[in-house]
Amino acid sequence: MKTRKLGELEVSMIGLGCMGMSDFYGQADDAEAIKTIHYALDHGINFLDTADMYGPFTNEKLVGKAIKDRRDQVILATKFGNVRSEDGKFLGINGQPAYVKQAVEASLKRLGVDYIDLYYQHRVDKDTPIEETVTAMAELVKEGKVRYIGLSEAAPATIRRAAKIHPISALQTEYSLWSRDPEEETFATIRELNTGFVAYSPLGRGFLTGRFKSPDDIPENDFRRFHPRFQGDNFYANLKLVDVVKQIAAGKGVKPGQIALAWVLQQGQDIVPIPGTTKIEHLKENIDALDVVLSMDELKQLDDAAPIGATAGLRYGDMSTVNR
């Protein structure tokens, strides 16, 4: 497994997003999830991504159980800031220094570890200056509870302010063929600051794999049923991009999802995608995508099919917590 750098932190070329093992994408199986995590570790993927809100709280426990005897093989990333109650209700965003310290202690306990490799603020708290939040996070680094710090879905100006307080090793934001917004200003900002980029949902929440032919293909208890890009006319408009991905995949003898993942990987050596999956067979496909190389002509076809802003529908139904 080749590696890439997120600031000074070296991780496997792709990571494993663990959210779907506990939340949002329908019913998951813990035993199968742990097998999938172990398969990832056995095949060189050492970068695991979770958050306290996933579950809520159960995903960190699941990841902790999976890595209990393999901590030295893992670059462990988790997040704080999106506050949820035990019953799953969203209570808001909190970046207050006292909460940062409270949240890290809770995450360390659930994960069963002494330190977190990469600790993100999951969303920016508009009511707490980013300088105060990052100062509290920097104190965790001094205390040895956190090795590196990151931000998620932060705007370029916010990242610059944060970086004046402490180096920001990684920015995690949605990025794929159908979510190309970071290319407009964010990439230039983070590259100037030596901040790496972690791309979540690099397969367009599964849409770019060609799995969905109509909205009816989405399971009843899956949040994508309520996602703007998976609804009504938006769904069918976005299928046009999938058709191009499928055509290129067929020509290369690979899966559509592998084309989508290869595209992300070829956008920069400082980009680390973290596709999530609950199944080993899909994880194998993602690993094999590392061997897929897109030609300049193929890259142009994809660029032409999916220019910035072309995707129908918002990334989230409520954008109020994104890119402050």
DSSP 143: T
| Residue 54 falls in the annotated catalytic set | yes
pLDDT at 106 exceeding the cut of 70: yes
pLDDT computed for residue 267 by the predictor: 98
Distance (Å, rounded) from C-alpha 59 to C-alpha 303?
35
pLDDT at 321 exceeding the cut of 50: no
Between 241 and 263, the higher pLDDT residue: 263
Provide DSSP, 66-107: HTTT-GGG-EEEEEE-EEE-TT--EEEE---HHHHHHHHHHH
Residue with tokens 């508009």: 126
Distance (Å, rounded) from C-alpha 170 to C-alpha 183?
16
Map residue 270 onto helix, strand or coil.
coil
Map residue 7 onto helix, strand or coil.
coil
| Mean per-residue pLDDT, 124-141 | 98
57: left (phi over 0), alpha (psi -120 to 50) or beta: left
Model pLDDT for residues 222-257, shown as the tens digit of each residue: 778 778 888 888 888 888 899 999 999 999 999 999
Do the Cβ atoms of 46 and 11 come closer than 8 Å?
yes
Model pLDDT for residues 265-281, shown as the tens digit of each residue: 999 999 999 999 989 99
Distance (Å, rounded) from C-alpha 269 to C-alpha 149?
20
Among 54, 120, 148, 175, the active-site one is 54
pLDDT computed for residue 69 by the predictor: 95
Cβ neighbour number for residue 38 with a 10 Å cutoff: 14
Do the Cβ atoms of 205 and 234 come closer than 8 Å?
no
Do the Cβ atoms of 80 and 122 come closer than 8 Å?
yes
Which of 149, 202, 152, 195 minimizes the C-alpha distance to 177? 202
Domains of the chain (ranges, CATH numbers):
3-321 (3.20.20.100)
pLDDT computed for residue 27 by the predictor: 67
Model pLDDT for residues 75-103, shown as the tens digit of each residue: 999 999 999 999 889 999 999 999 999 99
